[in-house]
Every structure is written in C-alpha cells, then in structure tokens.
Chains A and B, each alone.
Chain A
Amino acid sequence: MAEYDVVIGLEVHVQVKTNSKMFCSCANRYGEEPNTLVCPVCMGYPGVMPVPNKEAIDKTVVAGLMLDCEIAKYSKFDRKSYFYPDMPKNYQISQYDLPFCEHGKVKIGGNKGFSGKDLPPKEIGLTRIHLEEDVAKLTHFGTYSGVDYNRAGVPLMEIVSEPEIATADEAYAYLTSIKQIMQYAKIGNCDMEKGQMRCDVNISLKPKGSSEFGTKIEIKNLNSFRAVHKSIVYEIKRQRRGYDNGETFQQETRGWNDDRGETYLMRTKESAHDYRYFPEPDLLPVTFTDEDVEKVRVTLSEAPLAKQARFIADYNLTDYDAEVLTQNREVADYFDAGAVLVDTPKLLANWIISELLRELSEANISIDECKIVPQQLADMIKLIENKTISGKIAKKVFSEMFSSGKDAKVIVEEQGLVQVTDESAIEKFVIEAIENNAPQVEQYKSGKTEVLKYFVGQVMKLSRGKANPQLVIELLKKNLD
C-alpha cells in the first residue's frame, strides 16, 4: 500500500464579543426570543446603510496581533453574493482581497495530543483573518423552514490557516490554541454549543513527498473539537482506501454525522458557489498607521504560551503545572495574584491544581464564583509555610474555606487546629502509641521498619491530626530504636 501525506487547512469562525452588531445597533446577544434583536439593516431591507462597529474592528486587530499577523494598512469590505434565506440581502458583507490581518502563526504541540500520542512542537501558518457579518439561524421543519435573524449581523471573524496541518491531533491542538487566545484576549467566548466558534476542515491526501496537491474535500457542520478530530481520522481512512483502490476524487463538500461517525456528501463541485465578490460601495475603506497598530500592541494581554514560560521561570513550576494553570485565563490570573504573596508558589500551584480545580469542577462553578479569593488561599499557604498547620490539616481548613469563604486563620482558631510542634506534647502521644501497640513494637524491633507508618498514623490519631509529621517521625524513631 502506498504512503500518503495528509494536507489539512482549517477555517475557523469566531463571533466577536461586542455590545452591538457589526453594521447596526441591534444588541449582539445569544438566547433571546427569535427576531427580537432585529432592524431593517440586519434584516436586509432595501435602502438601508451599514455603519461598521469600531469595537469589532479593534478586536479583530487584537486577534491579529495575538496571532502574530501583519495588520493591513489599508483594507476594505466586499459583498459576497449568495442566495439563501439566512442572508436576506442576497450578499454577505465580508472581506475579499484586503482583509484586516494576514501572515500569522499559531504554535502548537510540545505535549500529548488529543489521541494520547506525543505531539511535537510545530508552527501552523495563518493565511488571514477577516471580518464579516454572521448570518441568520435556520430551523428546518418538514415542508418549510423558519428564519431567526437575531444572529444575522453579529460580527464574525474568519481565521484561515495555511494547509500546514498534518494530523487530527494537530488540528485539535490548533483549535484549542485559537480558542484559548480568543478567550485570553476577551475577543470572543468561543462557546461552540452556542455557535460562537465554528470550524470547517479542508483535507486532501497526496502520495508521500509529491509536490502536487490531492483533491480537496471540505467538511462542514463540525460543532465540537472532538467532531473535528473524529471527522479527520475518518476522512483520512476513507480517502486512503479510495486511492489505494485506484479511485479518483472530485472536489466536494461533505457533512459530518456525529451519531454514525462518518462524513457524507453534501454537494459536488458542479453546485459550488460562485460568490462574485465586489467592493461594498456603502462602506469606506479602513486604514491603520504603524502608530495605530503599536497603540493596540501595548495593550495586548500576555499570550498563554508566554504566561506558561513566565510561570516556569519566575515561580519554579513544572511544565505540567504551568500548562494546567494557563489553560484558562481566569485560573492563570488567580494563580498570578496569589503567587506574589507566598514564599513557595509551587505549593500554591499544587493546591490550585489538586484541590481548588477539583472542588470547582465538583461544584460545577467557575473560579470567578469561588468563595476563596487568591489572597485567602495565599494566607492559608503561609500557615503551612510557617508550620502553623500541617498539609493534612490544611485540607480540612481548605474545604471549610471553600464552603464558607472564611479566612484560614479564623477556621484554625475556631476549630483549634494549630499544629502541635511542641516536642514534649508530641512525645507524650508517641509514648502512648508505643505502649498501646506492643505487637507492632515487636515487629519493628525484628526489622519490619515499615510499621513506622502505622505508628505515625496512631500518633496523628491521638493528636487529632495536629502533630507535626516530621517531629512525629523523629520522636518515634528516637523512642523505638
């Protein structure tokens, strides 16, 4: 069987988070009653004039800069003609040859991919980012369809990658990175279930090493990263089998059936659109000077990868810690705020990763809704650092903090949880434990030193968890040996 190179390009649509729509003042909001956020502009009534939303353009520039793009000095909007009821003007205002952003890149890899296999570091080129208006939402009934124009006119960025993606894992990582950056820079919420982020895949196979491209197949209607991954795996298999059997492929658009786990033919090249782009005469061109761009650049938020690197360098975190803590901007900010307050940021990171994130996911709330603010968690860490409480007691304190929002100090005082570091007090418990457990003492003396653990447990029990564990071990050894 022949070997093939897989060539994948992704088109990602991201709704820009703004107060109002792209070309009219209707609210940009999800989940309202159908056709209540509409006006003659976004419903495409004749004679209306669009006026572009400055914030949407500014956020597109921010997206471009976050993704290492060049910002066009001169750009414009165009009309993309097509006939379908989700776009009542019979054209969509988009950008054709002069988009706002070009030539970017996205870094992926350096960790495990979605499939569990190692994903080496790689840079995926970005062809362009342009801004357009979203279309209406259609609901299909048996013999007719219904249109809700609330979504029509919502600012929509299209981010187009170079065909430099070679595997389903790379596609998944690319999408994850785009989403993370959009959320970091507060450009869009990217909730796929709400259609705030959507993805189309272009995929072709060619004989290994060949410079000629194979026939491009487009996959549409992918509404989760998982679906993107699965559809690519499926399509690679399907096309490989076809080529192996000597079949030829036509350029076509395929849909994804998630239940069946397969792609299906939607339309062939013969029925492909001919968009007949031409400049939108109702909108004036947009210009940016170098100064304009630099002004935006200094306001950029730290990119997730930069944040990861800083966490590793400044706070001595492991790659893993830094990756987990930067997955989401709010968690990263939380750690950042606490880390400067403690002596051992690594300890804070451990508590956030193993305790706080777990409690949050069990309670199904976000870190912003958490009752423990960074200062409070930092204060608790300080109590561990200065040995007021042990790590074990801290767990008790933490879970009380999580449910009540009380300060660690208050909980420790109220419940008398201060760690006992007084040797004579601990030694009393140690002697008591030794006296009560003659058989284990015998075992210890006959060389089974692992029963020491058992004694530690007994002493902790007697001290109700308050004894300092290091002292307990020292004193046990002293009294047993």
Chain B
Amino acid sequence: MSNTSQIDVGYVAKLARLELDDASKDKLQHDLEEILAYIEELGELDVDGIEPTAHALPIYNVMREDVSKPSFEREVMLKNAPGTVDDELLKVPQVLPGEGMS
C-alpha cells in the first residue's frame, strides 16, 4: 500500500537550505521513497479501538521547577563557533533582517 511519489526531494532540500547535485538528488529521492515505504508498513496494523496519542509513552507532565542555575562559560560555548564578533557574538553569514521568527 505504499505511496512513494509523495516526496519531492528538490523541495525538501530547498526547505533545508541544501544544495544538491543531480546525482545526489536521484539517490536521495530513491532512499527517501524507500524509507517512506518502510514507514507505510505501519499502515497494515489494525489500530481499531486504540486511542490516538501524541506520544508513544503513557507518561505525562514531566516538568522541572523554575530554578535558574549558572550557565556555561561563554568562552566554552563559543568554542565550536565558526567565528565570533569580539568574542561575544556568534558570527554568521549575513542574513536578511526580518526573515526570522521575530
């Protein structure tokens, strides 16, 4: 019951800001279709009478109290950054103002 033509690797790559050459595009299209077909096998299960759930585990309300603890050293946290601005900000290629979430 697989429906494998539902993925467009070119579009997914665009969303993920990935540039793919034709060879990798073909390969990934094939791989992802196989993965989706594998997932589709779940459709064969009989789920009649089973309550839908948003999570596999029947556990709820796992939270922590609102207590703040010391953060990590800035130097340590910025160590993996490709670059910094004055060792204070993480440096990234120019992005368009306003494209972000807020």
Contacts and interface: CB of A to CB of B under 8 A. Distances in A.
B89 A139 contact: yes
Interface residues of A, number: 68
Interface in B50-100: 53-55, 57, 59-69, 71-72, 74, 77-78, 83, 85, 88-95, 97-100
A28 B60 contact: no
B25 to A, nearest CB: 19
Contacts of A35: 74, 77-78, 88-90
A261 to B, nearest CB: 18
A359 interface: no
A284 B15 contact: no
Nearest to A253: B98
Given A52-B63, A138-B100, A148-B89, A85 B55 contact: no
B101 interface: yes
A53 B95 contact: no
B66 A284 contact: no
B93 A146 contact: no
Q: Chain B interface mostly helix, strand, loop or mixed?
A: loop
A286 B94 contact: no
Interface in A44-95: 51-57, 74, 76, 81-87, 90, 92
Contacts of B94: 140-145
Contact of B98 (A53, A81, A266): A266
Given A281-B55, A287-B61, A39 B93 contact: no
Interface residues of B, number: 39
Contact of B60 (A40, A142, A279, A285): A285
B66 A147 contact: no
B89 A146 contact: yes
A28 B77 contact: no
A135 B15 contact: no
B66 A53 contact: yes
Contacts of B92: 85, 144-147
Contact of B72 (A38, A144, A274, A281): A38
A82 B90 contact: no
A128 interface: no
Nearest to B16: A83
Nearest to A94: B101
Nearest to B73: A36
Nearest to B97: A140
Interface string A1-41: 00000000000010000111100011110000111111110
Interface in B7-37: 15-17
A21 B57 CA distance: 25
B90 A286 contact: no
B69 A20 contact: yes
A83 B59 contact: no
B29 to A, nearest CB: 18
B5 interface: no
Nearest to A74: B54
B89 A25 contact: no
Contacts of B95: 84-85, 138, 140, 145
A220 interface: yes
A284 B74 contact: no
B72 A40 contact: yes
A57 B69 contact: no
Given A38-B77, A84-B101, A284-B59, A33 B71 contact: no
B6 to A, nearest CB: 13
Given A146-B85, A146-B91, A147-B89, A86 B101 contact: yes
A129 interface: no
A134 interface: yes
Contacts of B57: 284
B36 to A, nearest CB: 14
Contacts of B88: 33-35, 146, 148
A83 B101 CA distance: 10
Contact of A134 (B63, B85, B102): B102
Contacts of A82: 101
A19 B64 CA distance: 12
Nearest to B65: A54
A144 B100 contact: no
B15 A276 contact: yes
A76 B66 contact: no
Interface in A376-419: none
A36 B67 contact: no
Contacts of A109: none
6 contacts: A35-B89, A36-B74, A39-B71, A141-B94, A145-B94, A146-B90
The 3 closest A-B pairs by CB, nearest first: A146-B89, A55-B66, A20-B68
Interface of B: 15-17, 53-55, 57, 59-69, 71-72, 74, 77-78, 83, 85, 88-95, 97-102
Interface of A: 13, 18-21, 25-28, 33-40, 43, 51-57, 74, 76, 81-87, 90, 92, 98, 134-135, 138-149, 195, 198, 220-221, 253, 255, 266-267, 274, 276, 279, 281, 283-287
